[in-house]
Structure 1
């Protein structure tokens, strides 16, 4: 071909600043775009061969190679795909193959929202200028008698085309790097970038550091020392960086549990085995493949940090794209490959498309179906998983009504009687003592005394200790007719009390006045009951509604809203307890007034300690008083 110069047909010099500033959020995107284009070129070549429009030589092996050279300040991306003719270079490179280039620039030159820019074929190549001062293409088409073509541009609107010395089908793109791109000539940096985006590219991907290879050749020119094994050693065969056939492409029935676990460890570097997984494998009405894992959590706060890797034709796009994965499922770890996703030009942002909503809905349905299947067919293991998966299941129910509708019968609760129960089972088993109430425990250690009272009376409570549980209970109450959740310290059940044990009214008045004076709180509610358990002198009850309002106010910014939602605490004195009886016996003995005050203060603090942690001042007084009581005993 004759040497040719010209201008790229965009009628403006603003295209490259726009590409650099707005289309790509991360600098390493250029390597993703160039290697993706190389992969596309190979896929097209395979397609042409499959339909008989091209013929591949015997023993043909498709591969992509990335070559870095620190000394020359270059990066090369080499493929053996279908290549381009002179006319195709003019069409796809010089004219920047997207429709309405001028309109595009006019519309977006003043925009800063890269999510607004719609994807157009061919633009990805120009990301090369993010890190280059000059870019060179050498390409040879698969077409018979095609001539190799060279295209060179320095990042302005000018280019040059001439004959190339490339003699094999495919394309080499050479980047002559500017200073801000030199970091990518470091082999480790480039390897990390390639592994990030192309760990599962469908064609073998190799990395070569030609500067190091040149240094090795120079070293080998020196006279080898006697007995030097390296001089006779076979050159090490290069290994691809990627796995061309990731597990998600296999049919689920052909995958073993061990393969799923190994894949999980490899991708997420998590050496804790996942609890279970869901293998997505569908071709209609959209193409979606992937594996979602339910990880084992070390603590509740890990529920905030899942990782769903999104791939597009086996090329990594981004983590945790909420348009595809509903937010409540982001506890999970997994990989999703969806070639049908409508991405914009930077391949990092989804266009607003109803199609994406269908994908999200399908994933939600598959997760819900997996949970209900485990509940129905493998209840023993489902119970074991519950402690790990319940925060995410509850969050999903609160956020997504369709998810709740699908899993509502598979919601279970850990019980103070041991084991797990559904809401339906709980209400049926406790209807005589609980009516339509569900009693729950939010802190097993703090509320141990209340649990003991329940156990002694054959009563059952469920254990709800997660941050999401307040919202979850409200949801269930709104769904269940007359259903009410009460914390275990919110009320004294009739089944805990003794019958016909009323005490004289003047004794009740005495105890009320005594404890209000002792605690120095005129608003303190006092209730006198005779409990079956005679060892407990008193317990503190807190209205469920009051407690929820208090906790809600803390959750929303930690505001002190005590004046709006005062604590409706009630001190329940056990008239069948010996200490309380002793207080009544001493009510008319003035010489024991100090002892009565001491004991009543201690009874109150003991009740409060079973209910909540004492404030520092109260704890100091409790310790001092305990010492005083011990001295009196001695």
Structure 2
């Protein structure tokens, strides 16, 4: 049982982040102040959802009060608006936890995410779990009286003027639920006008599943909202604006959704669903403690939020409502994990979402690109975790490529295969931090010369999913930075040239290999280079250099594989090295220049060299020699 509040009242301070938030609200210049009604009604609806769910296992919790409702009273003389629900209510500890503090980092994140755009910032209120505080945009004082369902704890009265503190004390409220009285600031009298409040409810809260009552001109309470849930209505009867407000108010969105999916499954199983793809990536998308945005209902009764069991991790950005006619009302999160009905619903939902993505990609490539820029790397995760939908995902994934000019120029695997040159056996790719770095890579030189397209793997997840893709339409994926170069029929001339060069440069290659034996697995000539003197490649079955770089960044332990140093037999530097070797096979200059080339190859890979001071000395020594030769 919660600790009792003193009957005479106790003064407590708000948490630091709450103080910051209150100051933002009190001094708000938002033109969209009306959202405070949306937030208070939404909180009341949540409280009713919770008590209805609790009543499934505890019939006594409702007592004689079984008529779930939200009441709004307007008092023009007192300049107050009062919103009352007969929901779950709160005890003292819950009031302090839910209003005096923020259990998660919601308020802090909200402050950090403020954009300066009044409309956007006010819409963000719901997403960050700070909706209650929006009342201080219009209130000089707020009084909350609440009693927890079940009657075990005393009723509590909470009051604040939005300063750094609040008072809390016991109340004589006899019925369960919460009553919030908002004392309006001067200049905010519009919110006690009946027509104004009705229009706000119609705009934001028409979809609330519980009746919202306002007195009519005769003083009799009347329902002012539709009580049929939005997801149960025919899609043809719902406007874009209604979908958008549901997304913001019920699901915490703060923008316009990029996609809305509203349908109903009938047959062996029956369930309705209303799903949204956010127009902006949620702020906690990559946080371990993030919540999934799916609310589960059974026969219109709210069962749980954050329902991870209905969507895989790679679709965790989806928000929405799923309402099943077949699940038991008392289903728990543990029961969900092994429930065959849940598995079938999940399968149907995932199939529907991926199909809608495919339709968008086919009919509106520009809109799909915007969706892909937001969630593409996350969708790619599905190739590793969802083998059942692998073929669908292979059609959806996009990559940058050498055919494009900007980061927005992406291609599908199907488009790539359709552009492959005659005689090309593989789908070629290269991994790197970004397009700019990749396009400076020596590995791409031969492909640029021969107009062979190369996919750019710039997303962190790409290296992890390559083994899961392996091939597409019979074409194997091949890294241009691993193993020996194989251009198939497109590399016949280079193959012959390489065979001749291997014999010609064999002794020099062996000399450099012995010199760098602690650092390289092999040294060989290559025809993959056109402008560069040398490059590093990973052996066929070794971890690539970019994967090693990521493993280091993540603090993972691994044994680095030695790379292969490849030499461009046509480059003047390599030709001169060969001449120097033939003149003096034990020349110290040969050693220094070979080490210098090896370090340069590392730099070209985007990696740090082991001994920068030694590298600088070699460069300076070379400059001294060259400059001395010039002025002779």
TM-score (norm 1): 0.58
Q: Taking structure 1 as reference, are residues 559 and 328 closer, same or farther at Cα in structure 2, changes over 3 Å only?
A: closer
Picking from 505, 510, 515, the partner of 2:512 is 515
Q: Equivalences for 1:199-598 in 2 at 5 Å?
A: 207-209=178-180, 243=206, 244=208, 245=226, 247-267=230-250, 269-271=252-254, 273-282=256-265, 285-297=269-281, 302=286, 305=290, 307-312=292-297, 316-338=302-324, 340-344=326-330, 350=336, 352-418=338-404, 419-432=409-422, 434-443=424-433, 444-447=435-438, 448-449=440-441, 450-477=443-470, 481=474, 483-494=476-487, 495=490, 498=494, 500=497, 507-521=504-518, 524-530=521-527, 533=530, 535-547=531-543, 551=547, 554=551, 560-562=557-559, 567=561, 569-589=563-583, 593-598=587-592
User: What is the CA RMSD across the aligned residues, in angstroms?
Assistant: 5.2
CA distance in 1, matches of 2:282, 2:149: 46
Q: 2:115 corresponds to which residue?
A: none
Structure 2 distance, partners of 1:513, 1:346, is: 68
Cα separation, 1, equivalents of 2:424 and 2:431: 15
Residue 629 of structure 1 aligns to a residue whose secondary structure is helix
Q: In 2, are the aligned partners of 1:586 and 1:592 still within 8 Å (CA)?
A: no
Count of aligned residue pairs for this structure pair:
462
Structure index of larger Rg:
1
C-alpha distance 350-506 of structure 1, shift in aligned 2 (>3 A) = closer
**1:63 is matched with which residue: 60, 69, 86?**
69
Sort the Cα spacing of 1:300 and 1:430 in 2 relative to 1 into closer, same or farther, 3 A: farther
Hey, what does 1:611 align to over in structure 2?
A: 605
SS in structure 1 of the partner of residue 330 of structure 2: coil
**Whole-angstrom CA distance in 1 between matches of 2:507 and 2:205:** 81
User: In 1, are the aligned partners of 2:260 and 2:274 still within 8 Å (CA)?
Assistant: no
1:623 Cα deviation from its structure 2 partner: 3.2
Q: Deviations over 1:533-573 (max 9, x none)?
A: 2x3101111124211699599599966442xxx62522111
Contact 1:280 1:290 in 2 (8 A): yes
Using a 3 Å threshold, how does the CA distance of structure 1 residues 36 and 529 change in structure 2: closer, same or farther? closer
Q: List runs of 5+ in structure 2 lacking aligned partners.
A: 1-44, 74-82, 95-145, 161-175, 209-225, 628-632
Shift of 1:528: 1.6
| CA distance 1:364–1:598, change in 2 (3 Å) | same
* 1:307, distance to aligned residue in structure 2 (A): 2.9
Cα 1:406–1:256, aligned 2, differ >3 Å: closer, same or farther? same
Query: Could you report, residue by residue, the CA deviation over 1:237-294 in whole angstroms, capped at 9, with x for unpaired residues?
Result: 6887955256534433344445444443444555454432322344654132322315
How far is 1:367 from its partner? 0.7
SS of residue in 2 equivalent to 1:288: strand
Distance 1:62 1:385, change over 3 A: closer
Matched, 1:186 2:186: no
> Shift in Å at residue 503 of structure 1?
5.7
Structure 2 SS opposite 1:545: coil
Taking a change above 3 Å as real, the CA distance of residues 501 and 317 of structure 1, as seen in their structure-2 partners, is closer
Specify the SS of the correspondent of 2:581: coil
- Residues 392 and 383 (structure 1), Cα distance of their counterparts in 2 relative to 1, 3 Å cut: same
CA 1:235/1:64 → structure 2, altered by over 3 Å: closer, same or farther?
closer
From the superposition, tell whether residues 560 and 35 of structure 1 become closer, same or farther in structure 2 (CA, over 3 Å): closer
Q: How far off is 1:480 after superposition?
A: 5.6
CA contact (8 A) 1:66 1:208 kept: no
Separation in 2, partners of 1:277, 1:234: 32
Cα distance in 2 for partners of 1:347, 1:588 equals: 75
Corresponding residue for 2:15? none
Give me the whole-angstrom Cα distance separating, in 2, the residues matched to 1:234 and 1:292. 31
Q: Deviations over 1:310-367 (max 9, x none)?
A: 1426665433323322333223233334465324277996485332222212211211
Deviation at 1:581, TM superposition (A): 1.4
Cα offset, 1:455, TM superposition? 1.8
* Structure 1: stretches of 5+ with no match in the other structure: 1-27, 45-60, 68-75, 80-123, 132-171, 189-204, 217-227
SS of residue matched to 1:579:
helix
* Cα 1:256–1:542 shift into 2, 3 Å: farther
2:485 is paired with a residue whose SS is coil
Alpha-carbon separation, structure 1, partners of 2:467 and 2:150: 62
C-alpha separation between the residues in 2 aligned to 1:229 and 1:599?
A: 81
Q: Distance in 2 between matches of 1:377 and 1:515?
A: 56
Alpha-carbon distance between aligned partners in 2 of 1:309 and 1:315, rounded to the nearest angstrom = 14
Change (3 A) 1:263 1:129: closer
- CA distance in structure 1 between the partners assigned to 2:577 and 2:468 by the alignment: 45
Change (3 A) 1:342 1:485: farther
- The answer on whether the counterparts of 2:483 and 2:538 sit within 8 Å (CA) in structure 1 is yes
8 A contact 1:295–1:332 mirrored in 2: no
* Shift in alpha-carbon separation, 1:374–1:509, aligned structure 2, 3 A: same
Mapped to 2, the partners of 1:286 and 1:348 lie a distance apart of: 22
